[in-house]
Amino acid sequence: MSQATTSGFTVDLSGQVALVTGASRGIGRSIALALGQSGAKVACVARNRDKLAETVAAITAAGGTAEAFECDVTSSDSVTKVVESVVEKWGQLDILVNNAGITRDTLIPRMTDEQWDEVLNTNLRGSFLFTRAATGPMLQKRYGRIINIASVSGANMGNPGQANYSASKAGLIGMTRTVARELAKRKITVNAVAPGFIETEMTGAMGDSILGEIKSKIPANRLGTADEVAGAVLFLASKAAGYITGDCITVDGGMTA
């Protein structure tokens, strides 16, 4: 299988190797599946071995190639070993999707040091560590696509109870723009995708009344899907996006327009 169509966009990533963090569920799983269906070999990274196995099985069942890599994204040694293992196995690394992220929501007067540090370490430090490790093989090849999954909470708006999460995503967008300038001459693009409210386990736990209120504020009058976020990632991973770098694409149904 060499092509995938997501949201009407066809991409051929045959011969490329992709690494997706947080690939065990939600948006990360959809991104990993889309990249695998497009022909890329996919390194699926997360902490949950069983959930990772499900993602890998789904990719291989669709005719793709994938392997699971357990990793603590906050550990420099673990991240370096994963990237080295991927390059050793498949000879290259062309696409990095920094998707791993967590929330520890509470209002700022009640937010603990641990809640702040845990979110910043996973969402921002983890993306930094993988970006740093991935630039080696990308610079060697003089080609690469780095795509960071941010959020409208860090790009366009605040969200009460998410000071730690919003700060981590705003920091990720700032890192995206800076690293894009550093790597552009080597044909490595660095972009971000900022989803709004997407149908995932996290939003599903909010309850119907809260979701109804959220939908009323979205011009599209619905939540987005993980596949729609994956479609934006596929575009940025494609050759068609070769002149786009340092940008942040919002996928939110017009909520922050």
Q: Would you name the residues annotated as active-site residues? A: 165
* Alpha-carbon torsion, ordered 30, 35, 41, 42, to 10 deg: -30
Q: What is the 3-state secondary structure (H, E, C) of 191-230?
A: EEEEECCECCHHHHCCCHHHHHHHHHCCCCCCCECHHHHH
The β-bridge partners of 18 are: 42, 95
Closest CA to 124 of 58, 177, 175, 87: 175
Give backbone dihedrals phi and psi of 84, rounded to 5 degrees, phi first.
Answer: -60, -40
The β-bridge partners of 67 are: 43
Q: Under DSSP, is residue 68 helix (H, G, I), strand (E, B) or coil?
A: strand
Q: How far is CA 79 from CA 45, 82, 131, 183, in A?
A: 10, 5, 10, 20
* Alpha-carbon torsion, ordered 54, 56, 62, 64, to 10 deg: 180
Return d(Cα 222, Cα 158) in angstroms, integer. 20
